[in-house]
Amino acid sequence: MRAVIVAIGVAFLVSLFCTPIAIRVFTRLKAGQPIRAEGPQMHQGKKGTPTMGGVVFILATVIAYVAGHLALTTLPDAQIAQVEPTITALVLLGLMVFAGAVGFIDDFLKVRKRHSGGLSARGKLLGQILVGAVFGVVALYFPSTMTDATGAQTNTETVGSTTLSFIRDIPALDVTKIGAVIIFIFVVMAATNGVNLTDGLDGLATGASVMVLGAYAVIAFWQYRHWCADPAYTANPNNYCYTVRDPLEIALIAGAAAGACVGFLWWNTSPARIFMGDTGALGLGGLIAGMAMSTRTILLLPIIGGLFVIITMSVVIQIISFKTTGKRVFRMSPLQHHFELAGWSEVNIVVRFWIIAGIGVAIALGLFYSDFLANMG
């Protein structure tokens, strides 16, 4: 627990104090956010606000991970904690960094062209597929090992699983390694685009991501405390345990990313002094996809990230309706812009959508804990 708290604190402080520096640097470089002409007219006042702020909390998460590992070396139960960096960390941080890099290219092109059209839709999609495929293969084909206090190597689990999962793996739904990689690519695409579509109002995506990542930190830490690789816990055969790879690593990274987002939210809340840009949105989406895979809760993700699903579906519904009937269901999509045009204030929309995000997280955690109680009983 100490390592997770250290990571959260370091990430928060780095993000909180480095974001103003990023604001000054990006302002000096004239890296302002172009605003779509077809978007809500009230957004034109945001033109020129520094973008690419996701660089700050991605960097803060990586720094906090290192700090958390320094704290790990002093844990009394280090014999069941992976003190050395793991494949799990490589996959999770790699997803965040490289998905964020795809977003950075998009942001850079927008700033350079002084136009809201950056990387082409096809280019962005190919980038997401490539990131998902590379880290999906690493997660499914490269088991990690751990050396305990006696020198024995234990728990050679892969980061991902060949079976679909809800609260845990569902053995009857084995999709093979190739199938699992393909499904993970889809999850990466869905999560990155879901967060990106949600990032339309000051603080909306940042706050929602804090809740989602916080939920994954809780899930992963609970799995660590009830881990099948912990001989002290499994000594009692009646104890229910989780077969996952490096749950403490997952909790540490999820907590660090949540803390970094809270620090960034201080400057990103309305009126935003900096935007996360596609750099941050795609980075967070990649990390959230990795969290779902590594905690073996793939099918629980649509509930944990319920707000992202709702906003994404509003875009899908709008496109299908317009192409089939020529009519729009919403005044504008994504959904948050519909309510803007309906007269809601930006702050009201953000707070109410945060409530929706919180409800999704609460339901997901309730289902997770209920499953544990049912199995312990």
CA distance 193 to 32: 22
CA distance 330 to 338: 6
Q: What is the DSSP letter of 141?
A: H
CA distance 44 to 130: 34
Are the C-beta atoms of 52 and 264 separated by less than 8 Å? no
- For residue 34, what are its two tokens? 């172009």
Q: Environment class of residue 201 by beta-carbon count within 10 Å: exposed (0-12), middle (13-18) or buried (19+)?
A: buried
User: Residue 278, annotated ligand binder?
Assistant: yes
User: Residue 148, annotated ligand binder?
Assistant: no
Report phi then psi at 32, rounded to 5.
-90, 150
Are the C-beta atoms of 53 and 276 separated by less than 8 Å? yes
Alpha-helical segments (H) within the chain: 2-28, 54-72, 87-113, 121-141, 176-198, 204-225, 231-234, 247-268, 277-294, 301-304, 306-325, 335-341, 346-376
Cα 254 vs. chain centroid, distance in angstroms?
8
DSSP-assigned letters across all residues of 264-283: HHHHHSSSPSS--HHHHHHH
Are the C-beta atoms of 85 and 13 separated by less than 8 Å? no
77 Cβ contact partners less than 8 Å away, ≥ 6 residues apart: none
- For residue 67, what are its two tokens? 């700090």
Query: Tokens 């003190």 appear where?
Result: 83
Helix (H, G, I), strand (E, B) or coil at 32: strand
The answer, yes or no, to whether the previous bond of 271 is cis (omega within 30 of 0) is: yes
Q: Binding site membership: which residues? A: 196, 278
Q: Binding site membership for Mg(2+): which residues? A: 196, 278
